[in-house]
Amino acid sequence: SMEINPKIKIVITCRYLEWKAYFEEKLKLIDNNLKIYEILPLDQEDINKILEEYSIDTTEFWKYIEDNYLESLLKNIMIIFHIIESFEQYRDQSVGYIDIYADVINKYITRKGSNREDTITDKPLGDMILIASSLATYMLLNREHEVSTNDLPTLANELYKVNAKSIIVNDLNIILNTALFEQNKGKFSFFHKS
């Protein structure tokens, strides 16, 4: 039998699309009185308030979103802010999902993690993106949320080659120390799941 202790509170968070329904079903089997909450995406009114803060014309912004079929990207608050902050740059051109995500990656991969104002200039951007992509593929295939710096030579050896060359430890270390990654006790994870 299971005893309920009202003094103990447990909070479980998850990404809505991946786990909410599964966790809700399983948790309700344990205790049907458990509270299940979900954070809703920002609605148009919320986004309009942000647009006003940035002095961006709401009608022009929403027409741009519609014309470029970007509505589904507005479920991700990081992407919302990126589009708003880059709106002056984007407004006169047609952009798609790939363009926006590439801009986000370029923004974070060219900045040092500890000081996001310092830029990294000694590595070609294309090579840095390919190394980060190899690492992302490795993490996805191995279901790893983070990687450790304990054995970087082994990790570098296990990654897919870039331009038919193995990734060297120094280059991997440069990537891990960009703003694209967060560091916690010698372990690195991408700063944002998207």
Task: Write the pLDDT tens digit of every residue in 8-61.
Answer: 777 776 665 556 777 778 878 887 887 777 777 889 999 999 999 999 999 999
- What pLDDT is stored for residue 116 in this prediction? 47
**Confidence category of residue 84, pLDDT binned at 50, 70, 90:** very high
Give the rounded percent of residues in the chain with a pLDDT score beyond 70: 88
Which pLDDT score is estimated for 119? 54
Task: Flag whether pLDDT at 147 surpasses 80.
Answer: yes
Cα maximum dimension of the chain? 64
Mean pLDDT of the residues in the chain = 82
What's residue 67's pLDDT? Answer: 92
Condensed to tens digits (0 to 9), the pLDDT of residues 95-124 reads 888 888 888 888 888 777 655 455 565 677
- Among 100, 95, 84, 5, smallest CA distance to 49 is for 84
> Hey, how many other C-beta atoms are within 10 angstroms of the C-beta on 95?
17
Average pLDDT on 159-172 reads 83
More confident residue, 164 or 99: 99
Q: Provide the token pair at 128.
A: 């840095």
Round to whole Å and give the CA distance between 194 and 190.
9
Cα separations (Å) of 147 from 28, 116, 130, 185?
34, 21, 17, 11
